[in-house]
A and B are shown apart, each in its own frame.
Chain A
Amino acid sequence: MTTNTPLLKVDNAGIQFGGLKAVQGVNVELDRGELVGLIGPNGAGKTTFFNLLTGVYVPTEGSISLNGEKLNKQAPYKITRKGISRTFQNIRLFSELSVIDNVKVAYHSLAKHSIASSIFRVPGHFSGETEMHEKAVEFLKIFNLDRFMNEKAKNLPYGQQRRLEIARALAANPKLLLLDEPAAGMNPQETQELMKLIALIREKFDLTVLLIEHDMALVMGVCDRIYVLDHGQLIAQGTPAEIRNDPKVIEAYLGEEVS
C-alpha cells in the first residue's frame, strides 16, 4: 500500500434513475485523516452520493475505490466490512435493542463464535460474548453513553441518539466515516457538543470523515476541505475560506448569509 494512493477515490461516478441523473461525473479524493464536508442545496444528490459510496445504490457510471481497491457492485455489508461506515439522515437505530446491543451489532462481523456454538452453548460462545460485551462497554465509555447502556435506544433523548448512531458507526471500525447531517434537528448547544465529539473522534480514531451538513457554522468550523454539490454535479471544492467566497457557491447555495 503506497501512501500516495488516496483513501477514497471516486472517479467520474454517477447514477441515473430512469431519465433522471441524480448524480453525475463526480470526482472526489480523500486523503487519510482528512475531515471533509459535502454541502449543497436540498435535492442536490448528497445522500444519493453517500448511498453510492456505501453500496446501497450501484453507480451506473464511473468507479469508486477504497485504498486503491474497486468497490463496484459489492453488497453494502461487504463495503462496511472493508471500512466505510455511515450514519443516516433520519436516525436509524435499532430502537427496540438496548444501547449496548446496538454497538454489539456493529461488532457482529468480528464475532468468532459460530451459530452452532451459540446454540449448543459451548465455551467459545461465552468467551466470544463476554469479549464483545467488555469491548462494547469500554467503547460506550468513550462516548459517555455507558450510563444508558441497558436503556432501549428509542428511549434516549434526541441528541444522545445521534451520538449513539455515530458511536455505532465507529464500532464497525471504519477507515472512512460518512456522517449524513449529524447536526440535523439539534439545538445550538447540542451542535457544540457534536463538534467536540467530532474533534474527539478524529483524535481517538485514525479516521477520515466525510460529512454532509447544512449547519454552516459547523461545516466551516471543523472541515479541512469542502465539496459543493448542486443538481448532482460538483460545482466547487476547496478550503472553507475559498468556498465562502466562491461566486458559484454563493449563487447556488449560500446566498445572502455570507455576503
Chain B
Amino acid sequence: MTILKSAKGFWLSILLSIILFAIIQFLIIGEYLNGFYINTIFFMGINIILAVSLHLIIGITGQFSIGHAGFLAVGAYASAVVSMKLGLPFPLAIIMGGLVAAIAGLVIGIPSLRLKGDYLAIATLGFGEIVRIVFLNIDYVGGASGLQVSHLTTWPWVFVCMMITLLVIRNFTNSTHGRACISIREDETAADAMGINTTYYKVVAFVIGSFFAGIAGSLYAHNFYIIQPSNFGFLKSFDILIYVVLGGLGSMSGAVVAAILLTIISTFLQDFPETRMVIYSILLIVMMIYRPQGLMGTREITSFFKKKKSVEGGPKDDNQHTVA
C-alpha cells in the first residue's frame, strides 16, 4: 500500500521535472531566452549536481571533505581530453570524466578517509590544491593558459545528468546502504559495533560523490570555450560546500534549493562587481545566525507535503530515511 502511495509521489515528481524540462527546452529552442539566462540555467544544473554529490559525502556520510573542486577539475580535464584530444563523442567524454574522477576519489579516499574531522578537511583541501597545480604544470592540457574546449553542453545533457545524479543519490540514500552511511555520520564507533564496515562505506560514498562531481566537470568544461586550472581553486570547493551547508546538512532537496538560490543570487550580483562578494558574504552570515541548521534542516521537501503519518508505518521508499 505505502509502496504504491510513495511510488505515486515519485512518478509525480518525475512528471513535473519532465514538464520543467520541456518548458525550458521550448524557451531555448524558441529563442525566448537570451544566452545569459541559458547559461545561468546550465550553471544551475551543474551546481545542483555538485551540491548533491557533496551532500552524499558530507550530509549523509558525515565526512567533511572540502576538496570537491579537485574532482570537478579531474572530470573537466579528463572529459576535455577525451573529446578534444582524442576526438571521441561527447557522451563518452561525460562518462569518462565521471569515471576518472571516481578513480581519483578512490585513490584519495582510501588513505585520507582514515582521518577524521578537521584532519580529513585539511587532507581533502590539500588534494584540491594538488590537482590544480598538477594541471597547471602539464603542458599537454595547456598549463596555465588552459585547454580549448568546444561548446557541446546542451540543456538536454544537463537535465539528463542532473536527473540521473538526483535519482542515484536518492536511491542509494534510501536503502540499507544509505542507512549504513548515515549511521557512520551519527556515531562511527556505534556503527562499527553494529557490524558496519565503516571504511568501506566511507570510500563508497566518496567514490560515488566524486563520480558525479566528475560528471559535473564534464558539463562544466564543455560549457566554456576554455578551461583553466584557476577555475578550480579552493574557492570553488567552498562554493559547493556552501550549497550543502546552507541547504541543511543531510537534506538533499536543501542542497538543490540552495544551489538554485545561490546561483541566481551570484548571477544577479554580477551587475554589482564591487559589492558582490560583500553582499554574498553578508547573506551567508545572516543565514547562519538566524538559521544555523540550514534552509531545510535535515528535512526533505517531500515531508512538507506529507500528512503526519501515524506509527503504523510500512516500508517507505521515499525520503523518510534521509529525513534522518
Q: Interface 1/0s, chain B 144-180, versus A by CB < 8 A? A: 0000000000000000000000001001100111111
The smallest C-beta distance from B315 to any residue of chain A, in angstroms, reads 4
Please tell me which one of the listed residues B171, B183, B192, B194 contacts residue A119 in the complex, with CB atoms under 8 A apart.
B171
Q: Interface 1/0s, chain A 167-184, versus B by CB < 8 A? A: 011001000000000000
Contact B194 A105 (CB under 8 A): yes
Residues of A within 8 A of B193 (CB): 54, 56, 76-77, 80, 85-86, 88, 92, 169
Contact count band on A? 35 or more
Please tell me which one of the listed residues B171, B192, B309 contacts residue A77 in the complex, with CB atoms under 8 A apart.
B192
Please tell me which one of the listed residues A95, A97, A118 contacts residue B176 in the complex, with CB atoms under 8 A apart.
A118
Given A80-B193, A86-B193, A119-B171, residue A97 in contact with residue B179 (CB < 8 A): yes
A125 to B192, CA, bound (A): 23
A125 to B177, CA, bound (A): 11
Cβ of B204 within 8 Å of any chain A Cβ, yes or no, is yes
Residues of A within 8 A of B298 (CB): 96
Residue of B with least CB distance to A76: B192
Given A92-B189, A150-B313, residue A105 in contact with residue B179 (CB < 8 A): yes
Residues of B within 8 A of A121 (CB): 171
Residue of B with least CB distance to A94: B186
The smallest C-beta distance from A166 to any residue of chain B, in angstroms, reads 13
A210 to B179, CA, bound (A): 29
Please tell me which one of the listed residues A56, A106, A147, A148 contacts residue B194 in the complex, with CB atoms under 8 A apart.
A106
Please tell me which one of the listed residues A95, A105, A148, A169 contacts residue B311 in the complex, with CB atoms under 8 A apart.
A148
Cβ of A205 within 8 Å of any chain B Cβ, yes or no, is no
Residues of A within 8 A of B196 (CB): 77, 105, 108-109
Given A80-B194, A115-B177, residue A126 in contact with residue B313 (CB < 8 A): no
Contact B324 A106 (CB under 8 A): no
Cβ of B195 within 8 Å of any chain A Cβ, yes or no, is yes
Contact A96 B171 (CB under 8 A): no
Cβ of A244 within 8 Å of any chain B Cβ, yes or no, is no
Contact A95 B186 (CB under 8 A): yes
The smallest C-beta distance from B102 to any residue of chain A, in angstroms, reads 13
The smallest C-beta distance from B181 to any residue of chain A, in angstroms, reads 10
Cβ of B250 within 8 Å of any chain A Cβ, yes or no, is yes
A119 to B264, CA, bound (A): 31
Cβ of A5 within 8 Å of any chain B Cβ, yes or no, is no
The smallest C-beta distance from A136 to any residue of chain B, in angstroms, reads 10
Q: Interface 1/0s, chain B 297-309, versus A by CB < 8 A? A: 0100000000001
Residue of B with least CB distance to A152: B324
The residues in A between 120 and 172 inclusive whose CB is less than 8 angstroms from any CB of B are: 120-121, 125-126, 128-130, 132-133, 137, 146-152, 168-169, 172
The smallest C-beta distance from B253 to any residue of chain A, in angstroms, reads 16
A31 to B317, CA, bound (A): 43
Cβ of A81 within 8 Å of any chain B Cβ, yes or no, is yes
Please tell me which one of the listed residues B187, B195, B197 contacts residue A92 in the complex, with CB atoms under 8 A apart.
B187
The smallest C-beta distance from A239 to any residue of chain B, in angstroms, reads 30
Residues of B within 8 A of A219 (CB): none
Residue of B with least CB distance to A137: B313
A-B contact pairs, 30 of them (CB 8 A): A75-B197, A77-B195, A77-B196, A80-B195, A88-B193, A92-B189, A92-B193, A93-B187, A94-B182, A94-B186, A94-B190, A96-B250, A97-B182, A97-B186, A100-B313, A101-B179, A101-B324, A104-B179, A105-B179, A105-B194, A107-B176, A108-B176, A115-B175, A118-B171, A118-B177, A129-B315, A129-B317, A133-B314, A150-B320, A172-B195
A sample of 20 more A-B contacts (CB under 8 A), given A56-B189, A56-B192, A129-B317, is A77-B195, A85-B194, A94-B187, A94-B191, A98-B324, A104-B176, A105-B196, A108-B176, A108-B179, A108-B180, A111-B176, A115-B172, A121-B171, A129-B176, A129-B315, A130-B315, A133-B314, A148-B311, A149-B311, A169-B193
The interface of chain A, by Cβ under 8 A from chain B, is 54, 56, 75-77, 80-81, 85-86, 88, 92-98, 100-101, 104-109, 111, 113, 115, 118-121, 125-126, 128-130, 132-133, 137, 146-152, 168-169, 172
